[in-house]
């Protein structure tokens, strides 16, 4: 049965034997990897830790938006729709329009 990298790392932490992780890294076709902006990477990390750290998600959504990430992409990373992401976070991160 093929293990995911996360499973291999968990096994290595338990056993202290990192050979399977090294083998996986050496055989992985890195050309198939997805290039994503740093802000989107951190947003994904924050989303994975959401139950523990909603404030970090707000910060990383703000950084992603400041770097031009669309609400559609933010929704994808957070595992929700673009509309739900925008409704939940826009009022927390977007600066209000100046009054005239």
In tens, the pLDDT along 49-92 reads 666 677 788 888 999 999 999 999 999 988 899 999 999 999 98
Specify whether 24 is located in the same domain as 56.
no
Read off the pTM. Answer: 0.48
| 98: in domain | no
Longest CA pairwise span in the chain (Å)? 65
| 99: in domain | no
Looking at the structure of the chain, the number of domains it has is 2
Specify whether 53 is located in the same domain as 19.
no
Specify whether 51 is located in the same domain as 8.
no
The count of residues in the chain is 100
Note down the domain range covering 3. 1-33
| 55: in domain | yes
Q: What sign has the CA pseudo-torsion 74, 72, 37, 59?
A: negative
Give the C-alpha distances (Å, rounded to integers) separating 8 from 3, 14, 17, 20, 32. 6, 10, 10, 7, 20
Q: What sign has the CA pseudo-torsion 65, 69, 75, 81?
A: positive
CB 20 within 8 A of CB 1: no
- Mean pLDDT for the stretch of residues 12-19: 83
């Amino acid at each position: 049965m093929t293990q995911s990298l996360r499973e291999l790392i968990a096994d290595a932490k338990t056993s202290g034997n990192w050979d399977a992780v090294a083998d996986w890294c050496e055989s992985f076709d890195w050309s198939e990897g997805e290039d994503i902006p740093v802000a989107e990477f951190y947003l994904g990390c924050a989303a994975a830790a959401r139950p523990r750290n909603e404030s970090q998600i707000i910060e990383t959504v703000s950084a992603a938006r400041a770097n031009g990430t669309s609400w559609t992409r933010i929704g994808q990373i957070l595992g929700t729709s673009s509309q739900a992401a925008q409704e939940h976070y826009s009022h927390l991160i977007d600066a209000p329009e100046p009054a005239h």
